[in-house]
Chain A
């Protein structure tokens, strides 16, 4: 991506036992939430778990698991990772079939509706600016305003405005796609 500031992971130095303990705590506390964030973006449980592993690996290498913001950071990393996968993904149909199988519901009508919503959402997320998509994913995965602010490195007072703008942009994008 031209001009995009991208951070690539570097090789990990030796890890101290204390940092390891802090890391395990964050992993146990956040793993389920991190997987569900990635699954919301990808509609695919197994890919979501891969993205979660990558996000925790990034956290592990940063040696910041003992920081208060580590939980929020790994959530944001998962959202970024999942959005990047979504954007680079070309073979959508394969994943959509997996998405349908993920909606473990008894009512076929509900399942069909959910799959359609999922397709619309993923298409829109892939087209929205990364930051707008990230704030939507984090907020609608249940992170509080304070957690979103910490995860994205913005002031808490700005999160309401960011969410509002992103939701308006999402709706416009979905309606545009639906009208085509």
Chain B
């Protein structure tokens, strides 16, 4: 059987009946797991010694409750502003970090330049771009800029990796998985699809009449369409709840996701990407820092930006399979993802794993 997960070993340290008989039997016969169990126990003991505190003298609960009532009744209860991060928000923070993965997966695109269209985006590398929560909230609402039309990506589950590869024409990937990651995956594929956004001054004018903040669209850009072509892509999800089974906190994230898809490309029938970029970074709601980040990419046509949210995710560039990838983690150390592009295919490996586990899995792909 498979090796025990770190979590199982930790639970076992507290309670010898916390794991199944099968897991206990495996542990008895596996030197590697016993060695890991030893380290888990050592670290747990170390923490327990540091946290050991003499019992507090009896707490005067009734007196404290009395003080509490006085404080509420006095109407000046906010003596000290202690910002509390409620559990629900904390749980969502990783969900936001994880959003970087679907952004890339959903954006996996094939080049399909119709006649007269100018290819403006065919990235050959990935690079991190830093955002803050404020940036995300402040981003302009595109519905005041023009119209969007999309074709369906038609996501669906297929039987196995071979079926996913056959459907998408991509190379099936096999990975060596660490202990704690379920061996079986569900496989999903998305078709090639596209999204077209057309800048339309009349839409902007209507939004302005309706009292919304609306942009001035320069005549040179009016009527310009940008088409992003997406898919096909395939995704292997390990240790995920079935579709729709995500709990209300959005914390039921898969242990591991491995995705690959043909790189995204975009084309336009009018303005150049440089013109579009200059226009977009000048919009209200785009902070000077974000604008500087976007402009600093330097080669926007050849770089796929990976959003990194300040205070929520961190990133570093890592060499993987001979190219440069972006390794992002949520700031609490719970999850990580690695995204890279090679020979026209974007790869993403991520999940509730440490950076080194994600790197090991990515390097094991064959």
Contacts of B59 in A (CB 8 A): 31-32, 35
Does chain A have a CB within 8 A of B84? yes
Q: Does A165 lie within 8 Å of B310, measured CB to CB?
A: no
Given the known interface contacts A5-B133, A152-B91, the answer about A31 and B61 at a Cβ–Cβ threshold of 8 Å is yes
Does chain B have a CB within 8 A of A49? yes
Given the known interface contacts A5-B93, A160-B6, A171-B47, the answer about A153 and B67 at a Cβ–Cβ threshold of 8 Å is no
Most buried by A among B53, B82, B89: B82
28 contacting pairs across A/B (C-beta < 8 A): A2-B311, A3-B133, A4-B133, A5-B93, A6-B83, A7-B83, A7-B89, A24-B65, A27-B64, A35-B56, A77-B84, A84-B82, A129-B332, A131-B332, A131-B334, A132-B333, A137-B51, A140-B48, A140-B51, A141-B51, A152-B91, A154-B91, A157-B7, A164-B40, A167-B44, A167-B47, A170-B46, A170-B47
In the complex, how many residues of chain B place their beta carbon closer than 8 angstroms to a beta carbon of chain A?
66
Tell me the B residues contacting A by CB distance below 8 Å.
5-11, 14, 18, 40, 43-44, 46-54, 56-57, 59, 61, 64-65, 67-68, 71-72, 77-93, 132-134, 180, 247, 249, 251-252, 309-312, 331-334, 352, 354
User: Other CB < 8 Å A-B pairs besides A53-B64, A55-B84, A114-B52, 4 of them?
Assistant: A7-B85, A136-B47, A152-B90, A160-B5
Q: Does B249 lie within 8 Å of A153, measured CB to CB?
A: yes
Residue-wise interface mask of A (101-128) relative to B, using a CB-CB cutoff of 8 A (1 in contact, 0 not): 0111100000000100100110010000
Q: Does A161 lie within 8 Å of B46, measured CB to CB?
A: no
Q: Does B67 lie within 8 Å of A2, measured CB to CB?
A: no
Does chain B have a CB within 8 A of A91? no
Q: Does B84 lie within 8 Å of A28, measured CB to CB?
A: no
Distance in angstroms between the alpha carbons of A136 and B333 in the assembled complex: 14
Contacts of B49 in A (CB 8 A): 117
